[in-house]
Every structure is written in C-alpha cells, then in structure tokens.
Structure 1
Amino acid sequence: MFSLQTIFGSGQQFYTLLDEAAKAAYDSTQALHAMMKESDRQPALDAFKLARLRERTASEKIGQALVDSFITPIEREDIESLGSALYKIPKQVEKFADRYSLALQHLHGIDFAPRAAMLEQAAAVVVDMVHELKKMNIDRMTALNEKLRALENEADRLMLELYRDIYSGRLDNLQMFLLKEFFEILEKAIDRCREAGVVAYQIVLKNS
C-alpha cells in the first residue's frame, strides 16, 4: 500500500532549492570581497550577474514547486519568506558592485575590503543555517544565530569608524558622499543576511 508521501513526494526538494539560493547569495559576497581586494583594477561584473541569475532561477523554481507540491517539509509561508530574504542578498551586493565600478576613480585610498570580508562571513553563516534546516537542531541553529548576531554587531561598530573617516576632513565632498553611500549599501547587505538568518532560526524554533 502506497503512502501519501510515496504518491506526492516528501517535499525535500525545497531544502535543495533553498541551499542553492543561499549558495548563490554567498558566491556574490565572495566575488565582492575579491573585487575589493583588487581595487587597483577595473572590476568585472560577470560574477555578480551570474549569482543574481542563479538566485533568480532558484527563486522561480521554489515558486513553481510551491504551486506543484502537495507536501512541503515546512510551512509554505516560511519557504516563501526565506526564499525572498535570500533573494535580496545578491541584489544588494550587485547594487554595490555596479555603482562601485562607475565611481572607482573617486575612491582611491578608501578600503572597503574589511567590511566586504564581514559580509562574506555573514553570508557563509546563512549558508550553514539554511543547510541545517533539514536537521531541525535547535542547539546548532542557536549557535549559528548568535554568530550571525555577533557579525552584525561588529558591522555596526565598523560603521561608527566610517563616520569618523567621513568627518575627518581628509576627504573632499564627493568622497564623503560616496563613502557614506557605499558603506550604507554594505550595511544593508549585512542586514539582509541577518534577516535571512532570523527567518531560518524562527523556522527551527517553530518545528523543533
């Protein structure tokens, strides 16, 4: 006798699709960190567009799977929320990369690499959190959530240092404007990682 799971599937494909979305988001942050470490050359944007394409493809597959599937391993609203949160990460990263490539000539001597490294670390934690969903291990997820929170707090501290640079008097007006804009984009990207992590953490809280 066939069970409903045999007939309709177990919905495990959603974990795979969410993993793909999280990895695409991480790859975009990795590409950004690499770009910031090579700030002496004109940046290439192909890696960011590819990450966005992969993210969009995963998002579309998640949406279609929600339509086609009778069974989901977690609530549909949670899958939608997490997919949406993940989608916003590479979108924000690509926004930074596009604008950076246009303003590079005005940014000599400004080092974005430490903040980009922190964004990459935050996205890596999100990858781990999404991958852990299928296990529903509350202790492991709590530890990852605290790690992501610590990264967010450190990013806030670095933002305060940014404002010291802005008001130091060594930058011209255009550099002050650009520095503030770019760091705010990076800050929002880290916030997007935090939002995705919160959704993943809440899913485990609800289901553990």
Structure 2
Amino acid sequence: MLSLQTIFGRGNQFYNLLEEAAVAAHDAARALHEMLRESDRQPALDAFRLARLREREVSNRISQELVDSFITPIEREDIEALGSALYKIPKQIEKFADRYSLAIQHLEHIDFAPRAAMLEQAAGVVVKMVRDLKRMKLEPMKAMGDELRTIENEADRLMLELYGDIYSGKLDPLQMFLLKEFFEILEKAIDRCREAGVVAYEIVLKNS
C-alpha cells in the first residue's frame, strides 16, 4: 500500500513544470529588456521564439500529466489556469519583438527600456510566486502579489503620462500610432504577469 507521502510526492512534477513555464516567461522578458537597452537595439527574434517554444512544450507536458496522473497536489483546474496564464506572458513579449523588428526604423528615438525593465521585474516576481507554491504560505504570497500590484500601478501611471505626449500635438500621426501600440503591448505583458500572480495567490488562499 502506498503511503500518503509517496502519493502526494508524485504530484511534484506539476510544481516543477509550472516553474519551468515561469522561468521561460522571465527569460523572454529579460531578453527583451537586454535588447531594448542596447545602443543598436537590433532585435534577435530567436530568443523570443525559443522562450515561446519552451512555454508551449511545458504547456503540452502539463496537459499530458493531467491526463496521466491520478493524484495532483492542487486542483486540476488551478494547474490549468496557472499554466494558461504563464503561457500568455512570452506570447505577448514575442508579439512586441516581432512588430518591433518591422518598425524599428521609426522607433530609433523612443526609449522602451524603462518599461521593459518593469516587465522583467514583474516576470521575476512571478517566478518567485510559482516557486513558493509548494509551501502554501499565504503571507509571503500576499507580499509578492502586492509587489506585482505596485509594478502594475506604476506601469498604468506611466501610460497616462504617455497619452499626454501622444495627444500633445508634437508628434506626427505615425509616431502617435506606434507609441500607443508598442507601449500598450508592454503594458499588457505586465498585466499578464499580474494575472499569473493572482492565480498563484488564489491557489494558496484556497489551500492554506
């Protein structure tokens, strides 16, 4: 007869897979920040596609494990929800990189690096939250969720400042369009991090 420790130990692969997904998202965010703070800012799209491919592979492995596993450490719906939330982060980052590579000649004087740094920071917090899931400790998870909320609020504030620049009349129509589109993509990527953090927090809240 199997012990409870043996049974529940078998569910650890889900924590490991979710952590892999979070790390892949963070790697994509870090690659974007590094690209945007370089002087030439030439996009190397392979890094973003590799992160997205890793995320897709992890997502497929999670789905297969859910089919194969009788025991899961947390509810199946929660595993699926967190996996889906993590998957959307590098997807949004790759969207920015792909479009940036097409419009870079019009973006030479726009500094995206500070907001990309916020995205990297947010993705790093998500990694810590996912790694902490096993402990099921509410207070540390709440503190990290608050950190994510602070980053998101700062990103929202910067977006309001950006809209002031866009509608100042100092920009031509193409610049207005590109500024709005690219900063909104970055803001949405930060929102995706926040959404993943909310799912992680709710899992701990439910199980603590």
* Fold similarity call, TM over 0.5: yes
1:141 corresponds to which residue? 141
- Tell me by how many angstroms 1:14 deviates: 0.3
Partner secondary structure for residue 79 of structure 2: helix
- Equivalent pairs: percent with the same residue? 78
Q: Distance in 1 between matches of 2:138 and 2:124?
A: 19
Write out aligned runs for 1:33-52 (5 A).
33-38=33-38, 40-52=40-52
Tell which deviates more after alignment, 114-123 or 9-18: 9-18
CA distance in 2: counterparts of 1:33 and 1:130, whole angstroms? 22
What one-letter code is carried by the residue in structure 1 that aligns with 2:64? Q
Q: Is the 8 A contact 1:9 1:71 kept in 2?
A: no
CA positional deviation for 1:165: 1.6
Matched, 1:10 2:10: yes
**Within 5 A, what are the aligned runs for 1:1-208?**
1-3=1-3, 6=6, 10-38=10-38, 40-208=40-208
For residue 4 of structure 1, report the CA deviation from its aligned partner. Answer: 6.2
Task: Say if 1:126 and 1:196, in contact at 8 Å, map to a contact too.
Answer: yes
What is the rounded CA distance, in whole Å, between the counterparts of 1:26 and 1:143 in structure 2? 19
Paired residues of 2:15 and 2:134 also in contact (CA < 8 A): yes
Letter paired with 2:10: S
Which sections of structure 1, spanning at least 5 residues, go unmatched?
none
- Could you tell which deviates more after superposition, 155-164 or 197-206? 155-164
Aligned length: 208
- TM-aligned CA distance change 1:118 to 1:7, over 3 Å: closer
Deviation at 1:5, TM superposition (A): 5.7
Distance 1:139 1:39 in 2: 41
The DSSP-based 3-state class of the residue aligned with 1:188 is: helix
Output the amino acid matched with 1:193. C
- The Cα shift of 1:9 comes to 5.4
CA distance 1:105–1:39, shift in 2 (3 Å): farther
Moved over 2 A (4+): 1-10, 39-42
**Is contact 2:42-2:101 (8 Å) kept?**
yes
Deviation at 1:3, TM superposition (A): 3.0
1:108 offset after TM fit, Å? 2.0
- Report deviation, 1:161: 1.2
Kept in 2, the 8 Å contact 1:8–1:70? The answer is no
Cα distance in structure 2, aligned partners of 1:73 and 1:135: 12
- TM-score normalised per structure 2: 0.96
Report the residue type matching 1:112 in the other structure.
F
TM-score (norm 1): 0.96
| Counterpart secondary structure, 2:108 | coil
Q: Give the whole-Å Cα distance in 1 for the aligned partners of 2:127 and 2:8.
A: 28
Q: How far apart, CA to CA, are the structure 2 residues paired with 1:94 and 1:61? A: 21
